[in-house]
Amino acid sequence: MNSFGGRLNTRFYFDNSSRSLDSNDNKNEERKWDLFEFKNGVESPKQSFITPFYTSSFTSTNPNQFLDPPFFSFNSNIISSSGSYSDFHFKEEKANDTNLNFQSQIWPTSSSISGNKKEESTKSQALDWNVESQQKPIDFSIEISKTEPKSIQSPQSHSNFNSIQATNEQSRYQDGYNWRKYGQKLIKRSNNPQSYYKCTYPNCPTKKKVEKDLNGIITKIIYKEKHNHTMPTNFQKSSSNSFNNTIFEHSNRFQPYSECSFIEHEQEQGSLICESRIDHENEPEAKRWKLDEVESEAISSGLSKTLEEPRLVVETKVTLIYLMMDTNGENTGKK
């Protein structure tokens, strides 16, 4: 099994529509959405992210706050006290017609994804963050699988059962919150299906859109509005060791490769800010949600703070960048 042949190709947007922006200002236009884009890199090698992300240098016992807006909260169980991956799950379960398993599992490059999706996903489920994988970069691939999460356990992942089980238990929370799908549309612009989710918490206005490409790979996630509640308790429990703290703890430990194709902001108190470039094709859609939310607050208080506190932006974005993997053989993350 080619264990490290893929690249993540997902964009994460945060609806920053509350910002006062001049639509004629390109820079501002871009900033309407906080975008984190994971590219397969096939079509846009510029956006392939090369990161020296190594198990030994990343520590988190927080499995779920990673992608919570503004810190996404994939189910990521990273344990590095021993310098090895215990598990690292990106899972978005039961989204749409398939289970979107955000797992750091093996995923072929997009060129090889076509074909029997189920078979490929089954293969990919055999990921094992075992000793052999320790010296390889994490592959932040996304698996789209029709297989039930409970069947994900692979014989090889003997050392990861706990985290897998934990992941399953938390499958409903994905990014820490509960979502209910309320619609799906085929978006003409991109010809991709787009799913619409609402936070299931009573009166919570938060929504998110998840767009997938033809291979079922999530290409974009847009959050709208902010949660008016805290993260579900049982989720918080497992996330007690705040990933935010992790971010601050570890973001300075890594240096992105020079190949980093993000827009690097020159200022920000000497810190590196990497932003992925925003395709113009995405702007109309972003605009649309923005227009709906002129009066709304940003997607989360965290994000609002982010906007007001450049340092936070720096730390967050830089850290996320480390999680964007280029799995080219020659770029194994070694500096």
> Min. distance of Cβ 225 from DNA in angstroms?
9
Site for DNA in 94-123 (CB under 7 A): 94-98
Instruction: Write the CB contacts of 324 (distance below 8 Å, at least 6 apart in sequence).
Output: 8, 36, 38, 49, 51, 140
Tell me, what DSSP letter sits at residue 125? T
Interface with DNA, residue 178, by CB under 7 A: yes
159 vs 296, beta carbon nearer DNA: 296
Q: Does 200 bind DNA (CB under 7 A)?
A: yes
Stretch that binds DNA, among 137-145, 158-166, 171-179, 253-261 (CB under 7 A): 171-179
Piece in contact with DNA (CB under 7 A), picked from 17-25, 62-70, 157-165, 177-185: 177-185
181 near DNA, rule: CB under 7 A = yes
**CB proximity list for 47: less than 8 A, separation 6 or greater:** 37, 39, 41, 261, 276, 277
Per CB under 7 A, 209 contacts DNA: yes
Q: Does 294 bind DNA (CB under 7 A)?
A: no
Chain-centre distance of CA 274, in angstroms?
A: 15
- The 10 Å Cβ neighbour count of residue 237 is 11
For DNA, which is the closer residue by CB, 38 or 177? Answer: 177
Any contact of residue 288 with DNA (CB under 7 A)?
yes
Strands (DSSP E) found in the chain: 11-15, 33-37, 99-101, 143-145, 179-187, 192-199, 207-212, 218-224, 263-265, 273-275
Q: Does 241 bind DNA (CB under 7 A)?
A: no
21, 187, 204, 263: which one contacts DNA (CB under 7 A)? Answer: 187
DSSP 3-state assignment of 247? helix
Shortest distance (Å) from residue 224 CB to DNA:
7
Give CA–CA dist 127/228, Å, rounded: 37
305 binds DNA (CB under 7 A): no
Report how far residue 10's alpha carbon sits from residue 194's, in angstroms, rounded to the nearest whole number.
13
Distance, in Å, from the CA atom of 269 to the CA atom of 195, rounded to the nearest integer, reads 39
Please, which residue, 249 or 292, has the CB nearer to DNA?
292
Nearer to DNA, 97 or 308 (CB): 97
Q: Is 31 in the site for DNA (CB under 7 A)?
A: no
Residue window 42-81: x/- pattern of binding to DNA, with contact defined by CB under 7 A: ----------------------------------------
Residue from the set 11, 39, 136, 207 that interacts with DNA by CB under 7 A: 207
Determine the Cα–Cα distance for residues 107 and 15; give it in Å rounded to an integer: 29
How far apart are the C-alpha atoms of 163 and 308, rounded to whole Å? 36
265 touches DNA by CB under 7 A: no
By the criterion CB under 7 A, which residues form the site for DNA?
Answer: 94-98, 172, 178-189, 194-197, 200, 207, 209, 285, 288-289, 291-292
